[in-house]
Chain A
Amino acid sequence: MHEMAIAQGILDITLDNAAQSDAKKVITIKLLVGQMTEVEPEAMRFCFSALAEGTIAAKAELKIKIVPLVVYCQDCGRKFVIERYRFLCSACGSANVKIISGRELQVEYLEVD
């Protein structure tokens, strides 16, 4: 259940940033979660709500955007979405592909009062 550790990370970042802006209440937390992370959104929401109790983020809504798994072929230059975790270039067959997106675990922005 690593969602608890991740939820703690989200709460730390949220409270730090909210304090810097003298916010009284956090309304929304927008998250970017890559397709190739092993995060279960509902488990993360549950953990977050438990941890955030009693803080200014207690009622915050977690808005989660799932970022697709996209790679770049360093041999032929093609950019493509990975399906079924097949990390071979769909054009030239090369294994020399680099992940561009899909591994994100980021707090993108907060809406606060």
Chain B
Amino acid sequence: MEIQVMENILSKNDKIAAEINAIFSSHGIFVLNLLGSPGSGKTSLLEQTIMTLKGDIRMAVIEGDLFTSKDADRIARYGVPVVQINTSGGCHLDATMVKGVLDKLALATLDLIIIENVGNLICPAEFNIGEDVKAMVLSITEGEDKPLKYPLMFKQASIAVLNKIDLLPYTSFDMAAATEDILSINPKIGLVVASCRSGEGLNGWYEWIKQQVINKKAGRIGCK
């Protein structure tokens, strides 16, 4: 006997993600899912972002990590609420994990939540976790071949930070090729060329976040 099914394999996750997004949206909170390889500079970008924006934007961080709370400890020093999710070996966050920590956040007091996903260029791209948009960090030390090797991540992200440009003189990174490949995968992506160590080039990132927070408050970013 044949049974016609036609069901999306990730539909359970997507349904929970939509529920979470509706909760965030009811509070007018803009939610960013931050993606990138281990060591690309996601936590450094968070640190810079918190230092620069915490006076203007009420923010909290959700930290995804396999086993440790090293990143959450780093973030907690900056005086913003931070919640740790340990995936116990899982290579990505899923919507159920984020749903499980919602009651640890004072949603009524927030404008922005940044969720730092597990460091990985593949798996997190497939799983919605209730975010409004995905953002990613690619460091130039990873090489310019990464966009075409991991295209889904670049396709799903609304903005990409090309990090560690202070190291450009010491690498053979081809900025023109990387930029061309990223823009051909996702012609609408925002590109920020920066160094999270020195803070150089990050203004475009801050301005983008501020605008998204304003848009979300005004209801211009709808539920997914």
Q: Which residues of A contact B (CB under 8 A)?
A: 1-2, 5-6, 9-10, 12-13, 17-18, 21, 23, 31, 36-39, 84-88, 95, 105-113
Q: Which residues of B contact A31 (CB under 8 A)?
A: 9
Sample of 28 A–B contacts (CB below 8 Å): A1-B123, A2-B92, A5-B13, A9-B13, A13-B5, A13-B9, A18-B3, A31-B9, A36-B151, A36-B155, A37-B126, A38-B150, A84-B148, A85-B147, A85-B155, A86-B184, A87-B155, A87-B187, A88-B184, A95-B187, A95-B188, A106-B9, A107-B7, A108-B5, A110-B5, A112-B1, A112-B2, A113-B1
B221 at the interface (CB under 8 A from A): no
Given contacts A2-B126, A17-B7, 5 further A-B contacts (CB under 8 A): A9-B12, A36-B152, A85-B147, A105-B8, A109-B4
Q: Which residues of A contact B91 (CB under 8 A)?
A: 1-2
Number of A-B residue pairs at CB separation under 8 A: 98
The secondary structure that dominates the B interface is mixed
Interface contact B9-A9, CB-CB below 8 Å? yes
Q: Which residues of A contact B3 (CB under 8 A)?
A: 17-18, 21, 23, 109-112
The docked-state distance in angstroms from the alpha carbon of A37 to that of B152 is 7
Contact of A85 among B123, B125, B126, B151 (CB under 8 A): B151
